[in-house]
Structure 1
Amino acid sequence: MEELRLVIVDDHPAILRGVAASLREFFPQASITSCATAEEAVSLDPEPQIALLDVHLADDSVPADNVRILCDIGCEVLLYTQETRRTLVSSCFRAGASGIVAKNDDLEYLVSAIRCVQAGEPYLTPDWAAALDDDQARIPNLTPRESDALRLYATGLPLKSVARRMGVGEQTAREYLLRARKKYTEVGRPADTRTDLYIRAVEDGRLPGPEPL
């Protein structure tokens, strides 16, 4: 295998330092860098081959969007997370993620996952594979504009403000929301109210969940 170029995308400095130091013991010739956002990762030169991506970042970015950003530069994405919501993780795989490892797993699992992805193979435990297979059909394929309208409206903005932020007419913004609701209904996850839309957006990683008390 060619020399590995790995980037760890995480906003916890202690995790960045600890994981990087541990991985250097197993990949002594690898180039291992770290950053706090997906946008920072794509600006690296040379571009990374594998990104170890935390699902939840402090910039409140959409997890699936971060996966797409990294995949667009030809990077393989390995989710490194404590996230257990199947629909959210499934949305990341639909966006192009190649595997997932829990942060509380032993280091050997992370090393195996990196080697697997480096060899061009996906990395999934049997439990995750079964769960994702069940959920793939339950995540609606929203267009970027439908997703934008859903996120803005679900956070409490009135429709007029949603339209203004999107740079469209109020009727167009309403149509985006109606399409999003219809797609959720079609997959058996109706979202008839603003609260329903907020719940679906959080479940699928389109919005961050509430901060713990």
Structure 2
Amino acid sequence: MITVAVVDDDRMLLDGMRSWLRDVPGLRVAAVAATVDELLARWDRPTAVVLLDLVLRDDSTPAANIHRLCATGSRVLVISTVPDRARILAALAAGADGYLTKDNDLPTLVAAIEGIALRGAAHSPELAFACAHDDRPDRPRLSPRELQVLLDYASGLTLKSAARRAGITPNTAKDYLDRVKAKYQRAGRPTYTKTDLAHRVREDGLEHEPGHGRGHGRGHGPGPSRGTG
């Protein structure tokens, strides 16, 4: 059973979301609230997935709300009215595990919730667009093969296993990882170890790249840690 909490200051949306998800097998809406403060005051247990409205009317910031929810051990799916690229990337950088606009249908929402709860990331057109057009100067441009090896290796595979998946030798896979590290270092983001690589994957939302879904745990091991208006 996947427990879900909803944070939104639109009462009609809260009631609608509770009704919408009530009969979905395997999901249970455990709490709803108008603010993160309210949710944390009423619900002190980690929730598998929190659906978080991006912009709330209590003057809280999206990044602070995401950080606070992630600190409880919950995963965060940001819900917004607009697919703004800068907002999507900022939400991912703050720790959100997914981003959906409010015009998506129930199957898409359920798939995103399940993806985050079971695999650590949700894929959506909004995320694919934002990641594909991420032109921030501190984000290196990686080739498809560099990205593939990075994601496999950072997800917890050994270098030999990552090389096997890519159809290359371990030495070639190591060369790709060395190139990735060098690109990050030139961008002013020192990257030396497997844990560093996993952090870069998480920071840049690379696990959301189309065709590169991986299952990641939060907070332990070499994989990336764990993410409206």
Aligned-pair identity in percent equals 30
- Partner of residue 120, structure 1: 119
For structure 1, list consecutive stretches of 5 or more residues without a partner in the other structure. Answer: 141-185, 187-207
User: How large is the Cα RMSD of the aligned pairs?
Assistant: 2.8
Residue 31 of structure 2: which of 21, 30, 33 is its match? Answer: 33
Q: 1:135 to 1:29 in 2, by over 3 A?
A: closer
Q: 1:132 to 1:61 in 2, by over 3 A?
A: farther
Conserved 8 A contact 2:21-2:27: no
> How big is each residue's C-alpha offset from its partner over 1:9-47, in whole Å with a ceiling of 9 and x where there is no partner?
000010000111110110466243100111222231333
Give the 3-state SS of the residue equivalent to 1:80 in structure 2: strand
Q: Tell me, in whole angstroms, the C-alpha distance in 1 between the residues paired with 2:2 and 2:124.
A: 23
Alignment of 1:48-127 (within 5 A): 48-126=47-125
TM-score normalized with structure 2 length: 0.55
Conserved 8 A contact 1:16-1:34: yes
- Partner of residue 209, structure 2: none
Q: Tell me, in whole angstroms, the C-alpha distance in 1 between the residues paired with 2:100 and 2:126.
A: 12
Conserved 8 A contact 2:78-2:98: yes
Q: 1:40 to 1:105 in 2, by over 3 A?
A: same
For structure 2, list consecutive stretches of 5 or more residues without a partner in the other structure. Answer: 140-186, 188-227
Conserved 8 A contact 1:55-1:83: no
Give the 3-state SS of the residue equivalent to 2:100 in structure 1: strand
Q: 1:88 to 1:29 in 2, by over 3 A?
A: closer
> How big is each residue's C-alpha offset from its partner over 1:155-200, in whole Å with a ceiling of 9 and x where there is no partner?
xxxxxxxxxxxxxxxxxxxxxxxxxxxxxxx9xxxxxxxxxxxxxx
Q: Displacement of 1:92 after TM fit?
A: 0.8
Q: Which has the higher contact order (CA 8 A, sep 6+)?
A: 2
- Partner of residue 2, structure 2: 4
